[in-house]
Structure 1
Amino acid sequence: MLPGVDSAGQPFEGRSFSANPFAGDSGEADQVLGETLAAFQELLEADPEQRTQIELATAWGHCVTALGRARVLSPLIAEAGDYGVSETGALVEKTQELSVPQLEGPDGRAVAPVFSDVAAMAWWNSAARPIPVEGSRAALAAASEGLALVLDPGSPGARVFRRSALQAAASGTDYLAPWSDDAVRAGFAAVLSDYPEVAVHRVICGDPSQTLAGPEVLVVLGVVRGLGPDVVPSMLTEISTRWASNPVVAERCDGVGVKVLPA
């Protein structure tokens, strides 16, 4: 190889190399991210009747902010590439390809995995290669592909960051939980005002654990008694269709569920 050029014959002159922001990374979890996740877990373990929707939104918002500022680890998995035949006639693997896997979430959607530390990744897959990346970039990459982002999949503390959380983590803006968003609440209320059968309603988090165990937002409807057996199902279909066509609700809510109670 000629001096001053790389293996492809391209000159080194004029190139610049930026410092590796993760040089000396120990592979341990980001302290702030760990603390916010622990605080969120503590809130989940409290009596559900004692915690408020605002407390839940605030605690999860701290986790979203911490994710955007933390270093996380993206897993690379080696997969077989091209195969060939050896001189003895045996089938041999000629190349390997590295890729970031996609997992299937509890609700069937595709999710992108990241990990807080090397130990969590090794427990999940000992063959995975950890690639350090800024949490904001991991959030942006997942959002651009229409994926949710799961942190530490398979562990008891696994958490899933949905669309609105990824947007906040990627941009560094404050997270506003959809179930606590006045604009979202107004969108729900505007539709329900046309249905006198609904006496009261309440907007709450549909997935408090943030594990894709339910819709992001749950609307609890207090329906007047004495309606015919076919009235409520038909009404709910109309209401759900109108909510889905509301641009604020459609953009901010990653899934809306409905629970009906007698008023």
Structure 2
Amino acid sequence: MSESVPPPDAPSTPGQEPAGVGHGLQGADPQAPQPAASPPTPGDVPRALPGPRPASPPTPGDAAMARAWSTGARAARQAGGRLEVPLAEADVLARAQAARAKMQRLLSSPTPFSGDDGAADPAVARALDALDAGNQPRHLLLERLWSALAASRVIVPVETHALPARTRPAGPTPGGKAPTHPVHTADASRDAATLAVELPDGHIALPVFTSVGAMLAWRADVRPVPVEPRRAAVVAYEHTDQLWVLDPGTRDLRLPRPAVVALAGGEDWVPSWRSTLIQDELTAQLSGLEGVTAVAFAPGQASELRILLRVDASAGRGAVADTLAACQEVLVNPAWGELIDTVELVPLPA
């Protein structure tokens, strides 16, 4: 299917048949007498000279459009004035116009981090300074830090060629060479998951930085990409052990798993040390064990939550050891993984 533009009509002169009448029209009687054309009057509009109609020039800067018009003009000359553009070339032209329109939309849309200078967010910096000073309880400072992080932006590192498992399709490129390097995904946070770090306890965490300087102190061969904290939390949830390590190499601060999970879900983080729902469920499960007479909770220092257990020691050390083992069995249930990061059991004599 193609679009045709016929050539201009031939001029009508005295004693000559008009174009498309008589012998050139299928079904006409060639023996029938032809009426003589009347001579033109002074008021008639002059007719165009015979020959191909020139094609309009291409739009400047559109290579695909120029190729289509060039091919169409050449076809017009060969066909005696019929300008035909095959569908394949019309499709190329439409794709080029759509791609140009998309690029214009992308360039005109504002980016959320266009003015980012790479420095740490002031609220995050203040929360980290307070955490370093240690003048307040650590668990309260962690909550303050989480709130500052959730309202700011973070920086994730991306290698030059991330995701080694994802490569371009095999086959030569327009330049004649097959690409051998891996490609990025459309999500810089997912690319950062390839740089996940192993913590001392064996867990895998996503490296997240508060500033470009902190990232370069860790590795100088990566490039910084600012992202929204929730997006980085979603990637940590999907591709690591649901953990962040903040400023690895200089600070190595592990953000508790429930804090990352809450951030990924767009929810407020309610730490286990002040969550009545978590504490009530733990109390119900632990109090039912033989030898446990009371359960209490407190914020941990090295851990997230400290559980204080009153254990009946009248049956001897063996019975106390069995009671503590039963308590640990309750706590290793994977269902607690997204609610409590780390737990410290503190047995107290009844």
Query: Would you say the 8 A contact 1:73–1:114 is kept in 2?
Result: yes
Q: C-alpha offsets along residues 108-129 of structure 1, whole Å, 9 cap, x if unaligned?
A: 1110001111110111001111
1:75 Cα shift?
0.4
Query: Would you say the 8 A contact 2:286–2:330 is kept in 1?
Result: no
1:71 to 135, 146, 153: 153
Change (3 A) 1:250 1:72: closer
In structure 1, what is the equivalent of residue 314 of structure 2?
226
**Greater strand content:** 1
Query: Would you say the 8 A contact 1:191–1:243 is kept in 2?
Result: no
Query: Would you say the 8 A contact 1:102–1:110 is kept in 2?
Result: yes
Map 1:198-217; keep pairs closer than 5 Å.
Answer: 198-206=292-300, 208=301, 215-217=303-305
1:167 Cα shift?
2.9
Query: Would you say the 8 A contact 2:242–2:261 is kept in 1?
Result: no
The gaps in structure 2 that reach 5 residues or longer are 1-62, 67-91, 168-178, 185-190
In structure 2, what is the equivalent of residue 131 of structure 1?
225
Asked if residue 191 in structure 1 is aligned to residue 285 in structure 2, the reply is: yes
Aligned equivalents of 1:251 and 1:118: distance in 2? 30
Aligned equivalents of 2:221 and 2:337: distance in 1? 39
> Any idea what SS the aligned residue of 1:154 has?
coil
Asked if residue 102 in structure 1 is aligned to residue 164 in structure 2, the reply is: no
In structure 2, what is the equivalent of residue 40 of structure 1?
131
1:238 to 326, 330, 339: 326
Amino acid across the alignment from 2:141:
A
In structure 2, what is the equivalent of residue 163 of structure 1?
257
Aligned equivalents of 1:241 and 1:94: distance in 2? 50
Amino acid across the alignment from 2:232:
A
Q: C-alpha offsets along residues 140-169 of structure 1, whole Å, 9 cap, x if unaligned?
A: 2212334301110121x3322233111333
Map 1:9-28; keep pairs closer than 5 Å.
Answer: 11-15=98-102, 16-17=105-106, 18-28=109-119
1:21 Cα shift?
1.3
Aligned equivalents of 1:3 and 1:246: distance in 2? 60
Percent of pairs with identical residues: 29
Highest RCO, 1 vs 2 (Cα 8 Å, sep ≥ 6): 1
Aligned equivalents of 1:251 and 1:20: distance in 2? 33
Query: Would you say the 8 A contact 1:113–1:152 is kept in 2?
Result: yes
1:22 Cα shift?
1.1
Amino acid across the alignment from 2:340:
C
In structure 2, what is the equivalent of residue 179 of structure 1?
273
In structure 1, what is the equivalent of residue 245 of structure 2?
150
Query: Would you say the 8 A contact 1:74–1:113 is kept in 2?
Result: yes
**TM-score (structure 2 length as normaliser):** 0.58
> Any idea what SS the aligned residue of 1:11 has?
helix
Aligned length: 235
1:2 to 53, 60, 64: 64
1:195 Cα shift?
4.2
